[in-house]
Structure 1
């Protein structure tokens, strides 16, 4: 599985059980990169794609159990640690600012097991700079 997450500059992903932020340009990038594949999400995350043409979005509360090799999962605070063995790649969209957070991305991408294979800065609809980082094993 390929994990996609939104993080702030301190690896925060949520505050008070809500996403910290959202961005239309980041969603468009995700829709483009997952076209022709499957993008697994839970009901909360599925709301982000309302109004978009994204037939690859598959909603299931047990989406991490359902994701197969090469399939994408957009995780917003989901407990991915039990699935870490199955994670092939991690794609992080970094807001490049610090938000209040009480949930953080649980995988340490700087532990020597992951390497950054690409990085791209782009201008979002809500953030002047968003950094997309792709990590592989």
Structure 2
């Protein structure tokens, strides 16, 4: 499985139950990257992808347990460390700023176990600069 996570510069994912992953351009890119393969998420994440996206997503509370090899998982506010051995890669969308946070990404894609394979900057709907990083294990 390949988790997709939005983080700030302090690795924050959420604060006070509020997500840090709301950006229309990020949602569109996640859907485009998943074209032709399963994209898993929690039911609460469906709202980020807009009407009509439900056919492209599989929502389940236990989506991290259910995702198979090569399948993408959009992750908000959940730990990933318990699934580390099943992770083939990781996609990070970085906001390039620091927000208040009380939920943090619990893994770091650093050598020797991880390799950065691509980095791309683009303008989002909520941020003038978002960085997408793709890592492989």
TM above 0.5: yes
- Aligned equivalents of 2:111, 2:52: Cα separation in 1: 36
How much does 1:97 deviate? 0.6
- 1:127 maps to 127
Q: Secondary structure at the match of 2:90?
A: strand
Between Structure 1 and Structure 2, how many residues are aligned? 137
- Aligned equivalents of 2:16, 2:54: Cα separation in 1: 28
- Please say if 1:89 is aligned against 2:89: yes
- Aligned equivalents of 1:99, 1:44: Cα separation in 2: 21
- Tell me if the contact between 1:31 and 1:54 (Cα under 8 Å) persists in the aligned partners: no
Structure 2 segments unaligned to the other structure (5+ residues): none
Structure 1 segments unaligned to the other structure (5+ residues): none
How much does 1:55 deviate? 2.0
- 1:44 maps to 44
Task: Please list every run of at least 4 consecutive aligned residues from structure 1 whose deviation after the TM superposition is greater than 4 angstroms.
Answer: none
- Aligned equivalents of 2:23, 2:46: Cα separation in 1: 14
Residues 62-77 of structure 1 mapped to structure 2, 5 A cutoff? 62-77=62-77
* 50-59 or 83-92, which deviates more: 50-59
RMSD: 1.2
Q: Secondary structure at the match of 1:48?
A: helix
- Tell me if the contact between 2:21 and 2:76 (Cα under 8 Å) persists in the aligned partners: no
- Aligned equivalents of 1:69, 1:21: Cα separation in 2: 24
